[in-house]
Amino acid sequence: MPTSKVRVRFAPSPTGFFHIGSARTALFNWLYARHTGGTFVLRIEDTDKERNSEEFLGVIYDSLRWLGMDWDEGPGKGGDFGPYRQSERDAIYREYLAKLQAAGRAYEKDGAIWFKLLGERSEVFDEHRQKTVTKVANTPAIIEDLIRGHVERTEDEDFVIFRSDGNPVFHFVNVVDDIAMKITHVIRGEDHLSNTSKHVELFKAFGVTPPQFAHIPLILKSNGPGKMSKRDQGALIEEYQRRGFLPEAVVNFLCLLGWNPGDDREKMPIAEIIRLFDLPGVNQSNARFDEKKLAHVNMGYLLELPADRFLAHARSHFERRIEALAGVPTDEAKASVALYRSAISAPALFREVMLLSQPKIKSVEELPAYTGYFFSEDYPIDDKVRAKVMAKGDPKARLRELIELVRTADFGSDLALETAIKDLATAGGLGFGDYQSVARLAVSGTNVGPSITGMFRVLGRERVLARMERFLAAA
């Protein structure tokens, strides 16, 4: 545990949608601050005037709030070290530039301002760039990284700190802000490790001991080589919010991308994650993104939701789908909107159907397709499922037997209904699945869904009989 008050920062750029990699970096900073009783600072890197967007900035704020990552200092919160948007800190950057210029550590060339390294200089022809460059015999920057361990990197060329357009570059503003905001730990992606020697040189030039660095592993694409980017499928946090994933499930999944609690647990409450999280537990090896695992984690959280919260979550998703499709002029969209409105306008049936489906789904985004046949008699029949079921034995005969059973079966007990179907199957020398498959096809048009007995109970005897008889007549 650090001896001084921990101050960490998350510094996103509002130049695109908020993606998995940024969210994981924010989370590790937030967890470390909460674990140590420190301060989590949100700092906005918005010096790129051409690419910055207030829309993307709003997405950053909304995504952090949705994930439960409250910041202690930053936009909307204030603090002693603001402003917290780099676009509003120009006077501070000019003040620090003047310090370097006064010390002879900055100079102008080609309209830009360069940082001057210390050491003997020599002119060397660079074959890669096909020109002569000035090399500096500089001592290596030593980085005792809390994850990577001992790292030495040497900067042997001066580098730009202010562009010719007068704007400061990333390296300069990061170091100045970390100094001014008294940041103690810099937790960021491994791809920034190559920048760290430049940052160490700047810290030294300002006479400041660098913060402790912790470079976390990259998140790799789910398939193939390479770092996951915001263009890859499943990369955007906003997508999971739209699809109805639970924020606590996404946080749980993200924390395990490169960190483990010391055992093989996949699901932990946030209080337990905060208690256990520490930088030595972060892996050096890169983590591979796995959306199926995220869905599995989300399913576990959904399963444990109290009924009222699950119902509210499900209803909210149906309402979002209605809103999203309301202006779409296609017949399919209009039919979907009508179906979803029908579902939420029947609260008693909606409650029964949703709670019956709760143990079976990985996300509420599955619910409209998974449960549509409960709310409409005009449900489609899956042709592939029909072909498979109807090719086995004598499905019509099995359906006739089921119709007779349904007329008199006890619909008040799932167990009694299941036992009756099993007895019917045994008497015919068949298995429960032989009857279940044709019953499910006739009643729902598909081969997936909640238990067949639960489906029968919720639909009721009359609707089940009508559907079976209609299917048999058309078969």
User: pLDDT digit string (tens) for 52-95?
Assistant: 889 999 999 999 999 999 999 999 999 999 999 999 999 999 99
User: In angstroms, what is the C-alpha Rg of the chain?
Assistant: 30
Rounded Cα–Cα distance for residues 471 and 475 (Å)? 6
Which residues are known catalytic residues?
230
Which amino acid, one-letter code, is at 293?
A: K
Q: What is the mean pLDDT of residues 428-451?
A: 94
pLDDT above 90 coverage of the chain, percent: 86
Domain 7-82+219-292 top-level CATH class: alpha beta
Residue 226 has a CB neighbour count (10 Å cut-off) of 10
Tell me if 7-82+219-292 shares its fold with 89-216.
yes
Q: Which residue has the higher pLDDT, 67 or 132?
A: 67
Task: Render pLDDT for 24-37 as a digit per residue (tens, 0 to 9).
Answer: 999 999 999 999 99
Q: What is the mean pLDDT of residues 330-348?
A: 95
Residue 133 has pLDDT above 80, yes or no: no
* pLDDT at residue 129, rounded to an integer: 65
Task: Render pLDDT for 234-288 as a digit per residue (tens, 0 to 9).
Answer: 899 999 999 999 999 999 999 999 999 988 899 999 999 999 999 999 999 999 9
Task: Please report, for the chain, the start and end positions of each structural domain, with discontinuous segments joined by +.
Answer: 7-82+219-292, 89-216, 305-374, 383-474
Neighbouring residues of 433: CB distance < 8 A, sequence distance ≥ 6: none
Average pLDDT, the chain: 94
Reported as a pLDDT band with limits 50, 70 and 90, residue 3 is: low
Produce one character per residue of 324-356: b if its CB has 16 or more CB atoms within 10 Å, e if not.
ebeeeeeeeeeebbebbeebeeeeebbbbbbbb
pLDDT above 70 coverage of the chain, percent: 98
What CATH code is assigned to 383-474?
1.10.10.350
**Taking the model in full, what pTM does it have?**
0.91
Q: Do β-strands 219-220 and 212-216 pair in parallel, antiparallel, or remain unpaired? A: unpaired
Rounded Cα–Cα distance for residues 332 and 163 (Å)? 53
Query: Which of 18-27, 136-145, 162-171, 364-373 has the weakest average pLDDT?
Result: 136-145
Q: What is the mean pLDDT of residues 201-205?
A: 97
CATH level 3 topology of 89-216: Rossmann fold (3.40.50)
Reported as a pLDDT band with limits 50, 70 and 90, residue 22 is: very high
Rounded Cα–Cα distance for residues 85 and 43 (Å)? 6
